[in-house]
């Protein structure tokens, strides 16, 4: 039962994200006149399948770690062309294949998968803001923790932060987000103190915290928000405002992800935050078990974050991923012709090796994290 309490939420979370991603490819492919041979959730042997009226085989497979859409004329679910099959086709049959479309249609079909992931996140966030609104903590300092960057900069209890480096700070959450990604960077704070504005300069310190997905390195200023009900307000939003907030929240996830990747590439961030299927299953199970106490939103929030992450991952310019296909199409559009088949084949092999290496490394992180947890080695 304990195993199932993690497995079932994992299948739901990953299944929703993968289905939406693949459905983006599928629906835009059909709009472009491409025949779809198969739509698969998972890889490997079929567990369940049926064929629709347009000849598409919808299947659920045994290995639930992804999915694929196989268009007519593809050699496999990665949309690699099958030259022998394409050469044998009539002009009419070739016209309904993926590679029978012009480069712009092919690019639209490929981009539709990640785009669908972003739209899923935006939809979930829109529903949340429209249904619940938002509790706004005004950016008022209740406590300045001793020995922190805030104390050194001269922050005082009662200060209200108006802006950071000229950017308006409407809430304590925005203050927190800005500081989080600014470890080691000197920030200029404009604060309201006793009715007058003043400027303070503070450099958030690097702070390491343990999260469900490993150690996270963030900036720490050293101030706590006011819990006084007078410093809180409950904002309600209509659909249009909720949509705007949802786009902002989705972009925040994107920005935090790119910030981490940039620091990782520069050697200023640890790779132990990368997580694979085991880590996702662990977090999914914990979020599902917490529904009775904190509600369903944290579970939906996990789906939204994972959806954005999958969308971003697939946009990386790595052969085999959607971003790799888009890079090939960009080259084709510039050259006026596609790269030769051998070059593409070698590139796909390199891409497969990179994707498998990333999967193995992230799984290693998950296993190592579990071992540290059960051995009591986490600090």
164 in a structural domain: yes
Same domain, 167 and 264: no
Is 94 a domain residue?
A: no
Residue 93 within a domain: no
Q: What is the pTM of this model?
A: 0.81
Domain span at 83: 35-88
Catalytic, 345? Answer no
> Is 342 contained in some domain?
yes
Residue 212: which CATH number? Answer: 2.30.42.10
pLDDT at 252 over 90: no
Flag whether pLDDT at 264 surpasses 80.
Answer: no
Q: Judge contact between 298 and 290, C-beta under 8 A.
A: yes
My answer on whether 199 and 224 are in the same domain is yes
Q: Find the catalytic residue in 22, 46, 168, 269.
A: 22
Same domain, 120 and 189: no
Both 27 and 43 in one domain: the answer is: no
Are 116 and 165 found together in one domain?
no
183-234: pLDDT as tens digits: 888 999 999 998 899 999 999 998 776 555 555 677 889 999 888 888 888 8
Looking at the fold, whether 159 and 179 belong to one and the same domain comes out as yes
Question: Domains in the chain: how many in total?
Answer: 3
2 and 107 belong to one structural domain: yes
Do both 335 and 259 map to the same domain? yes
Q: Which two tokens stand for residue 283?
A: 């977090």
Co-location of 40 and 27 in the same domain = no
Do 372 and 250 have their domain in common? yes
Q: How far is residue 288's CA from residue 13's CA, in Å, rounded to a whole number? A: 10
- Is the same domain home to 314 and 342? yes
Judged by average pLDDT, the poorest of 59-68, 183-192, 272-281 is 272-281
Query: Do the domain assignments include residue 95?
Result: no
144 Cα distance to chain centroid: 34
* H-assigned helices in the chain: 2-31, 83-88, 91-94, 103-132, 149-153, 172-180, 239-265, 277-289, 291-294, 297-314, 322-335, 341-375
Residue 263 and residue 227 share a domain? no
What pLDDT, in 10s, does the model give residues 148-158? 999 999 999 99
Domain boundary among 177, 202, 235: 235
What does the pLDDT look like over 330-363, one tens digit per residue?
Answer: 998 998 888 887 887 788 888 888 888 888 877 7
Q: What are the C-alpha distances in Å from 8 to residues 5, 148, 289? A: 6, 43, 11
């Amino acid at each position: 039962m304990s195993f199932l309490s993690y497995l079932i939420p994992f299948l739901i979370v990953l299944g929703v994200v993968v289905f939406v991603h693949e459905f983006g490819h599928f629906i835009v492919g059909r709009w472009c006149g491409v025949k779809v041979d198969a739509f698969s959730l998972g890889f490997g042997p079929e567990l369940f399948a049926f064929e629709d009226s347009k000849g598409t085989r919808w299947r659920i497979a045994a290995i639930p770690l992804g999915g694929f859409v196989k268009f007519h004329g593809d050699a496999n679910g990665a949309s690699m062309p099958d030259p022998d099959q394409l050469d044998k086709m009539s002009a009419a049959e070739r016209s309904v294949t993926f590679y029978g479309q012009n480069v712009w249609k092919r690019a639209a079909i490929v981009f539709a998968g990640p785009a669908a992931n972003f739209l899923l996140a935006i939809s979930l966030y829109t529903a949340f803001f429209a249904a619940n609104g938002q509790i706004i903590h005004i950016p008022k300092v209740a406590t300045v923790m001793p020995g922190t960057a805030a104390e050194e900069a001269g922050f005082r209890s009662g200060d209200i932060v108006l802006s950071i480096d000229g950017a308006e700070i409407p809430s304590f959450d925005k203050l927190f987000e800005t500081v989080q990604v600014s470890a080691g960077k000197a920030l200029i704070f404009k604060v309201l103190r006793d009715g007058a504005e003043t400027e303070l300069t503070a450099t958030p310190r690097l702070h390491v915290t343990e999260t469900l997905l490993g150690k996270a390195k963030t900036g720490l200023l050293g101030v706590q928000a006011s819990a006084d009900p007078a410093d809180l307000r409950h904002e309600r939003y209509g659909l249009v405002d909720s949509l705007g907030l949802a786009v902002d929240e989705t972009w925040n996830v994107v920005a935090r992800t790119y910030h981490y990747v940039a620091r990782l590439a520069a050697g200023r961030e640890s790779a132990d935050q990368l997580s694979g299927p085991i880590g996702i299953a662990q977090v999914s199970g914990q979020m599902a078990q917490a529904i009775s106490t904190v509600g369903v939103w944290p579970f939906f929030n996990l789906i939204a974050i994972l959806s954005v992450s999958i969308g971003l991952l697939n946009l990386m310019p790595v052969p085999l991923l959607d971003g790799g296909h888009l890079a090939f199409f960009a080259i084709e559009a510039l050259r006026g012709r596609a790269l030769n088949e051998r070059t593409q084949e070698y590139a796909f092999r390199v891409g497969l090796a990179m994707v498998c290496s990333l999967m193995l490394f992230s799984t290693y992180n998950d296993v190592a994290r579990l071992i540290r947890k059960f051995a009591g080695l986490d600090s």
